[in-house]
Structures are given as C-alpha cells and as structure tokens.
Amino acid sequence: MIEVSFRDAEREPRIKTECKTLRDFDEPIGYYLNDPDNNYACHFFDRETRRCTINETRPAICRIFNCDEERQGEKECFLV
C-alpha cells in the first residue's frame, strides 16, 4: 500500500481529487495511491514510459526512494 498525507496532497492537488481517502475508522487521515485500474501500482505511474507523472510534486514517501539508478541492467528502487 502506498499511503500519503494531507500535506502531500497540498503539494500535489491531483492526489486529493484522483485518489481514495485513507481512513482510520471514519476519520480521514490521508490518501491511497494504489490504483486498481493500474494493476494496483501507483495511480501516477505511467506504465508506457515507466515514469512518475507527478515527479516534481511527488509525495514524501516517494522522495525517500531512488528509482533512477540501474543495477545489473534493471531498474531498482532503494531507500536513499
């Protein structure tokens, strides 16, 4: 699950309008980025280009991962 905060949605307004609300009981606490229409990958992941469509305003959780480097010929994401 990719969970993001309200602060992330302030930085990227499409999160608030396009993603499902994450709730703790009835209390909204953030948003889910996983998208069943995108095979449960991030809603903002473009499968054709293999790129994030909101890279400049991506959420904090995405910022702590580096998915730009290749290791042994394959893309690999790791904590920075």
Task: Name the pLDDT band for 80 (thresholds 50, 70, 90).
Answer: very low
Q: Residue 64 is which amino acid?
A: I
pLDDT at 56: 92
Alpha-carbon gap, residue 26 to 45, rounded angstroms: 28
Count CB-CB contacts under 10 A for residue 45: 18
pLDDT, tens digit, 9 for 90 and up, residues 4-63: 999 999 999 999 999 999 999 999 999 999 999 989 999 999 988 888 999 999 999 988
Long-range contact list for 20-24, CB < 8 A, 24+ apart? Answer: none
pLDDT beyond 60 at 69: no
Q: Domain ranges for the chain, please list them.
A: 3-79
Read off the tokens for 52. 């994030």
